[in-house]
Amino acid sequence: MSRYVYSLHDYHAVKRAVIAIDGITVLSGENGCGKSTLSKWLYYLVNGAEHFDVYIYNSFIRSILEITRSLNMVSRDIDRYSDNAGNTLFNEGGQKLRRLFHNENPENIDSAISIFETILDRFIKILSDYLKQKPSERVKERMLRYLNIEIGDYDNIDDELEHFRLLQNEQISKLFEKYMKDKEERSKERFFSVLHTTYVIKDKPPVNIQLEEEEVKLFKKNRVGNLFNLNKAIYVDTPMAVSEEFAYDNKFWDNLNDLMMYQAKDMQTSDTSLKIERRIKKLIKGHVQVSKDDFNQNELRYIREDGLDIKLDDVATGFKAFAYIQRLLKNGHLNSNTLLMIDEPEAHLHPQWIVEFARLLVLLNKELGVKIMVASHNPDMVAAIQAISRKEELTDVTRFYIAESSETPYKYSYRDLGNDIEDIFKSFNIAYERIEQYGGTGI
């Protein structure tokens, strides 16, 4: 099993964190100490390294779409052609371009360029016909200024539009050259640029961030390498992530729901995976499956053992925590190349289920090799992970970290506790001391 070391320094609340990930890693600390920040950026690094070429390709397709949107906007402004086949072509062309997203190969790149050339030919025909009808100077100037076309008189319209065609094709060629250059160079700057676009990240990227695989750095000399044995990160910040009712533009939630809906391309079913699935089914007295709703769209439903059939949205939140694990197993997304990160997995769980969930995490690591990183405030969860990992003889790959205040206000450094959780429990004991203080007389 490959060993990873993740480091992040001087970013938001994190003063210093060097986190080993080769089994089960537990982060503990007070609210606002940067645990979620650590998880999010690790998610970006793992998935970004795996899909860097695809993200660059998507950026190339997106740029072509933006150019076609500009042409379409002018076409729509030409009243004579607003209901003509030209706009139909724009709509169909845009749909074809969007279908090329996420599927990087030479054929699709050629298709994207060909689609654009077809749209451009049609647009030039529409614009030429319109200009030859001699529209008002004000309308013409506004339109041509937007397109950056200079036409002095109507005798040289075709020549100027042919020049416009050449400029547009040159722009596409430059976009293609940039795509190929970005793909070859794999620069760190471009890496973070596409991450910000892909995941709609609002903050500036960390300067001091690194991920090592078997002591080989992901970032070296401002270039981005590859991760050989880690190709998927899943981040669950709350069990509510599986609820359509609360869905919004959250890339982590979108990714989790996609993984729950669809099987992995290289899916391989194992007896061990099925065994863990059955354990979850027994716990929640049922299972989750994909069904069609009234609009023939896929939705997740909980089927109880007595026949009750309801939307997953409508089950108790605690059930959702086990439901997403069950679906990820069912679809083949949990294996030795997966990093599963969960914020406060104990949230919404009964104390008994906290222990069951802890055992589930340990089994995922032991039986399937899934790498686990958990952020927890709960003494039962922390103690259960320690006890069960010890019983399963996983103490050598189970590590606990505690966030401690640094000399800089509002900044925290993460201390490696190994498998010793005594200092974590000392921090929990502060809560009990407060109960005694506030529960006494003379408050």
User: DSSP string of 374-398?
Assistant: EE---HHHHHHHHHHHHHTT-GGGE
* Distance from C-alpha of 190 to C-alpha of 205, rounded to nearest angstrom: 12
Containing H/E element for 24?
strand 24-28
* Distance from C-alpha of 172 to C-alpha of 36, rounded to nearest angstrom: 40
Residue 347 has pLDDT above 70, yes or no: yes
- Angle 106-131/35-77 helices, nearest 10 degrees? 40
Instruction: Express as a percent the part of the chain with pLDDT over 70.
Output: 91
Angle, CA of 9, 47 and 377, to the nearest 5°: 55
Containing H/E element for 11?
strand 4-11
Residues 6+ apart with CB under 8 A from 93: 68, 115, 116, 118, 119
The structure tokens 């397709």 sit at 61
Mean pLDDT confidence for 159-180: 94
Q: What is the mean pLDDT of the chain?
A: 90
- CA proximity to 366, closest of 398, 343, 342: 398
Question: What is the dotted CATH code of the domain comprising 4-51+186-263+319-439?
Answer: 3.40.50.300
The b/e string for 167-193 (b: 16+ C-beta within 10 A; e otherwise) is ebeeebeebbeebeebeeebebebbbb
pLDDT of 2:
80
Residue 81 has pLDDT above 50, yes or no: no
Exposed (0-12), middle (13-18) or buried (19+): which is 234, by Cβ within 10 Å? buried
pTM: 0.90
Residue 83 has pLDDT above 80, yes or no: no
* Distance from C-alpha of 316 to C-alpha of 310, rounded to nearest angstrom: 11
* pLDDT band, very low/low/confident/very high, at 247 (cuts 50, 70, 90): low
Residue 86 has pLDDT above 70, yes or no: no
Rg of the chain (C-alpha set): 27
Mean pLDDT confidence for 392-397: 96
Provide the 10 A C-beta neighbour count for residue 321: 24
Of 150-154, 244-248, 320-324, 327-331, which range is least confident?
244-248
pLDDT of 153:
62
Mean pLDDT confidence for 34-45: 97
DSSP annotation string for 139-167: HHHHHHHHHT---SSGGGHHHHHHHHHHH
* pLDDT band, very low/low/confident/very high, at 139 (cuts 50, 70, 90): confident
pLDDT of 82:
46
Bridge partner list, 213: 4, 216
The structure tokens 């069912």 sit at 330
What residue ranges in 336-433 does DSSP mark as E strands? Answer: 338-343, 371-375, 398-405, 412-416
Instruction: Domain ranges for the chain, please list them.
Output: 4-51+186-263+319-439, 57-185
* Distance from C-alpha of 164 to C-alpha of 171, rounded to nearest angstrom: 11
